[in-house]
Amino acid sequence: MITLTASAEFGHTGQYVARITGRDSKFTFAREFVGSKGGKRNEITTADIDEPGLYECRDVTRKGRNDRYRLIVRRGDTLERLASDKADAMQIARALDEGRTIDQVVRLVEAEGGGWAYEILSAAEAKRADVAQTIESATAACWEILQALPEVQAKKVLTALRAKVSPTKTDSASASETGSEVQP
């Protein structure tokens, strides 16, 4: 769990922590306000975050407002907090409006000097990543089953799978002669 905070100086109000859910024509971002105010004069807002997303923390000072954008992404079983800027936040919010999830919009990458950074994925890159993930999970499931078999039988299973995935013309012709169909 990650805790995000926003504060207001003495005599000022308006601080908040919000999850950005997309774009808004009037207010720039569509927001879902999270967290609760506390402190002696309600000058602090805190939110415990346990799901990935794009969050905005607004601090209020006598000089004005200061907006900070935080990207919360999953790394294995843990969450990582990354700083973002308004330009990236707008690009991410636009992608969220398209119906993509935060995991389909940003990818966590290792930074050069250590630590973590993110990159924003295009719709095509997100689709390729989803396909790669599906292939990886299907391969892992097949591998788990094949490990239970002796090597000779595992090779026969792989050969049979190859024939089902890519039937040759002779397989298709013999299937049509017998009246059976080759399943794709």
- Quick: pLDDT tens for 148-166: 888 888 888 888 888 888 8
pLDDT at residue number 184:
47
For residue 37 the two structure tokens come to 């105010």
Mean pLDDT of the chain: 85
Is the confidence at residue 2, as pLDDT, over 50? Answer: yes
pLDDT at residue number 93:
94
Q: What is the distance between the alpha carbons of residues 156 and 137, in angstroms, rounded to a whole number?
A: 22
Is the confidence at residue 23, as pLDDT, over 90? Answer: yes
Q: What is the distance between the alpha carbons of residues 140 and 136, in angstroms, rounded to a whole number?
A: 6
8 Å CB contact between 17 and 47: yes
User: Phi/psi at 121 (nearest 5 deg)?
Assistant: -95, 140
- Enclosing H/E stretch for 109: strand 106-110
Within the chain, what is the greatest distance between any pair of CA atoms?
A: 87
Better-predicted residue by pLDDT, 30 or 180: 30
